[in-house]
Amino acid sequence: MASMRLIYVYLMVLFVKIRSCYGMSKCLLPEKNAGLYVFGDSLFDAGMNNYINTTSDYQSNFPPYGQTFFHYPSGRASDGRVIPDFIAEHAKLPLIFPYMHPDAEQYYTYGVNFASGGSGALVETAQGLVVDLHTQVSYYKNVRNVLRKKMGNEEAKTFLSGSVHLFSVGSNDYGARFVTKSSVLLRYSKQQFVDIVIGNLTNAIKEIYNLGGRKFAFVNIGPIGCTPVIRYSVKGNKCNEDMTESARLHNVVLPRMLQKLEKKLAGFKYSVFDFYTSASQLMKHPSKYGFKEGQVACCGGGAYRGDDSCGGRRGTREYELCENVNEYVFFDSPHLTDKANHHISNLMWSSNLTFIQPYNLKQLFQL
């Protein structure tokens, strides 16, 4: 583990050509005086789960993860980078460290990644095995306090108000409801459950706002009912329509909630990316975007390579691995390849208003 951390730090420094500074002085302030603070699940996790007491079901720190970009398993659920890595590059920031990385504090002014694979808006989602959203926000408060000590209250306030807070939250909550068949979760109607998830997300946004955050960016829920892992588990290898309906309900309620917050909270700015539509297009029409396979994962086994066996450490030791990962939208049964993440992040950064409203991320950073 120690050697892997050293490799991670070396690659990080090599990739962004950062000159280290002692403490946190202005030599570490990003170019536009705005950092990137990331919250959520495995779509965004940059290795947070490497540092918590969990199981391999919620980790990706073993081969063949990381094979194409880092050339070692960094903890990202991809063959390479995840979406925040590309967003940081667009924003002329270095790769953002996971909060629990031993060197993260040196680079708080570039941002921090709190995302934890398997987590959700609800504390009950994979409870005890992941870092839930409420806890992620408490870690953000710790970061805010460090910044205030290092920069001074006013400068820290200005910095955080100009920074972007990026979220991917909810997919695992809806997955837990339908995959685990929990009687506690199923006692609510789909709409009631969506309202609970959105309510928890709203509370997190308000807390970050009270801590100084003003710019918020979100990806909505993707086509979770049609991922390889779900198709593998459904009779006839079909999509799970209950999960699909929950995703659609969430994606209707999310922008309405944000519009209400914009009216109530002074200076509040937001952006919502339509991950559902963009990912669905990749899955249905892969050749249009430079891929060959949009339904089957590169790594795994069974129908659609959806048995979650990638890497051989989740109960099934044997798995298949495709020859050319760049031909695939999915790397493992629920997660995208480096190439697909790059495509999505480009849309998030500079797309016109077809996929993202009311600002793309480039505009949000510049506000």
Over the chain, what is the mean pLDDT? 92
Burial class (CB in 10 A: 0-12, 13-18, 19+), 90: middle
- Examine residue 127 and state whether it is found in any structural domain, yes or no: yes
Beta strands in the chain (DSSP E): 36-40, 111-113, 164-168, 215-219, 269-273, 299-300, 320-321, 356-357
Residue 332 annotated among the catalytic residues of the structure: yes
Sort 23 into a burial class: Cβ within 10 Å, 0-12 / 13-18 / 19+: exposed
Query: Is residue 302 a part of any domain in this protein?
Result: no
Catalytic residue among 41, 42, 119, 274: 42
Residue 17 pLDDT > 60: no
Residue 19: pLDDT over 60: no
Instruction: Note whether 363 and 102 are within 8 A (CB).
Output: no
3-class DSSP assignment, residue 366: helix
Query: Across residues 203-222, what is the average pLDDT?
Result: 98
> Is residue 333 situated within a structural domain?
no
Based on the residue annotation, tell me whether 42 is a catalytic residue of this protein.
yes
In contact, 359 and 269? CB cutoff 8 Å = yes
Q: What is the pLDDT of residue 178?
A: 82
- pLDDT value at position 219? 98
Do the domain assignments include residue 231?
A: yes
16 has pLDDT over 50: no
What is the domain-level CATH number for residue 222?
Answer: 3.40.50
Domain assignment present for residue 141? The answer is yes
pLDDT confidence bin for 32, thresholds 50/70/90: low
Give the residue-averaged pLDDT of 256-265: 98
Closest CA to 201 of 144, 254, 160: 254
Residue 25 domain-assigned? yes
**What is the pLDDT at residue 181?**
64
Domain limits for position 361? 2-291+342-366
Residue 265: both structure tokens together: 């909270």
Residue 200 lies in a domain: yes
| Of the candidates 330, 364, 345, 284, the residue with the CA atom closest to the CA atom of residue 44 | 345
For position 18, what pLDDT does the model report? 39
Q: What's the pLDDT tens digit per position in 137-189?
A: 999 999 999 999 999 999 999 999 999 999 999 999 999 988 776 656 678 89
Q: Which pLDDT belongs to residue 102? A: 96
Position 2 scores a pLDDT of 41
The residue annotated as part of the active site, out of 45, 274, 308, 332, is 332
Residues, the chain: 367
Sheet containing strand 111-113, strands side by side = 111-113, 36-40, 164-168, 215-219, 269-273, 356-357
Treating both helix axes as pointing N-terminal to C-terminal, what angle do 83-90 and 338-350 enclose, rounded to 10 degrees?
40
241 pLDDT exceeds 50?
A: yes
**pLDDT score, position 29:** 57
Q: One of 101, 250, 335, 343 is an active-site residue; which one?
A: 335
Mean pLDDT over residues 233-239, rounded? 92
- Residue 7: pLDDT band by 50, 70, 90 thresholds? very low
Q: pLDDT exceeding 90 applies to what percent of the chain?
A: 86
In a domain, 298, yes or no: no
Over the range 25-42, which residues count as b (16 or more CB within 10 Å of their CB) and which as e? eeebbbeeebbbbbbbbb
CA torsion angle 146 149 153 94 (round to 10)? -50
When divided into structural domains, the chain yields a total of 1
Question: How confident is residue 31, by pLDDT bands cut at 50, 70 and 90?
Answer: low
pLDDT over threshold 70, residue 303: yes
Report whether the peptide linkage leading into residue 102 is cis, meaning its omega lies within 30 degrees of zero: no
The residue with greater pLDDT, 53 or 18, is: 53
Give me the mean pLDDT over the 305-315 stretch. Answer: 96
pLDDT tops 70 at residue 63: yes
CB 165 within 8 A of CB 217: yes
